[in-house]
């Protein structure tokens, strides 16, 4: 009886997550993967204190990329953007933490790398807007849509972060 209760509780505890915790979708684009930057990009989010909830290397199907960028379908660079994103594997991730959507965008830097401050990923590693290394959701609602597009529910890991009490007051 006690064992049953404990096992029910442990399943509950495993899935327990802060309902206010914000999540964002971050992707290392094919140029970032090819240039060996996966480790550095993960390191920047880890060092900030954010929690990795999901991550996978995947060669994204064109349909997924067209859907992901559907709001840009009328832009002249849309076809080139989809081709670039389909040109090799992407490292897709979900990160969690306070204000991670907006802060994640700051960590990435401005869309055009020439406008990105040094110290940001795009400011440090790239030059052309069409080869800007990484993607980050631009709003909480966008993040929810993008996470659902790229990940199945059972790929998202709900767990307590050991460092939590040293990161949040
Ligand atoms: P962000 O990725 O910073 O959210 P956007 O949503 O405006 O920026 O654009 C999506 C992606 O489209 C950019 O990251 C970049 O790879 C590409 N892109 C944006 N503007 C241009 C452009 N003028 N020429 C080529 N590619 C572009």
What pLDDT does residue 4 have? 52
- Local confidence pLDDT in tens for the 169 residues of the chain: 555 554 544 444 444 456 568 999 999 999 999 999 999 999 999 999 999 999 999 999 999 999 999 999 999 999 999 999 999 999 999 999 999 999 999 999 999 999 999 999 999 999 999 999 999 999 999 999 999 999 999 999 999 999 899 999 9
For 3-133, where are the E strands, in sequence order? Answer: 23-28, 51-58, 90-96
What pLDDT does residue 19 have? 57
Annotation marks residue 135 as catalytic: yes
Using CA atoms, how far apart are residues 98 and 76, in angstroms rounded to an integer? 35
For 29-121, where are the E strands, in sequence order? Answer: 51-58, 90-96
Task: Supply the CATH classification number for the domain 17-153.
Answer: 3.30.70.141
Using CA atoms, how far apart are residues 136 and 120, in angstroms rounded to an integer? 13
Work out the angle at residue 51's Cα, subtended by the Cα atoms of residues 41 and 115, and round it to the nearest 5 degrees: 35
ipTM, two decimals, is: 0.98
| CB of 120 closer than 6 angstroms to any ligand 1 atom | no
Using CA atoms, how far apart are residues 132 and 105, in angstroms rounded to an integer? 13
What pLDDT does residue 17 have? 53
Every domain of the chain and the residues it spans? 17-153
| CB of 65 closer than 6 angstroms to any ligand 1 atom | no
Using CA atoms, how far apart are residues 24 and 143, in angstroms rounded to an integer? 5
Is residue 62 within 8 Å of residue 79, measured between CB atoms?
Answer: no
Q: What is the pTM of this model?
A: 0.91
Q: From the candidates 135, 137, 143, 147, give the one annotated as an active-site residue.
A: 135
What pLDDT does residue 21 have? 87
Rounded distance from Cα 111 to ligand 1 centre (Å): 6
| CB of 111 closer than 6 angstroms to any ligand 1 atom | yes
Work out the angle at residue 127's Cα, subtended by the Cα atoms of residues 150 and 51, and round it to the nearest 5 degrees: 40
What pLDDT does residue 79 have? 98
What pLDDT does residue 26 have? 99
Using CA atoms, how far apart are residues 18 and 48, in angstroms rounded to an integer? 19
């Amino acid at each position: 009886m006690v064992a049953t209760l404990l096992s029910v509780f442990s399943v509950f505890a495993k899935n327990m997550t802060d309902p206010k915790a914000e999540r964002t979708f971050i992707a290392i684009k094919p140029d970032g993967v090819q240039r060996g930057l996966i480790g550095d990009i993960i390191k920047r989010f880890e060092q900030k204190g954010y929690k990795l909830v999901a991550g996978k290397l995947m060669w994204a199907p064109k349909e997924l990329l067209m859907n992901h960028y559907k709001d840009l379908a009328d832009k002249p660079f849309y076809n080139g953007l989809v081709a670039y994103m389909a040109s090799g594997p992407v490292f897709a991730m979900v990160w969690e933490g306070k204000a991670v959507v907006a802060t994640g965008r700051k960590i990435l830097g401005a869309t055009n790398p020439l406008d990105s401050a040094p110290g940001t990923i795009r400011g440090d590693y790239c030059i052309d807007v069409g080869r800007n290394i990484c993607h980050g959701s631009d709003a909480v609602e966008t993040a929810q849509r993008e996470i659902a597009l790229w990940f199945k529910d059972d790929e998202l890991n709900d767990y307590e972060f050991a460092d939590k009490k040293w990161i949040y007051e």
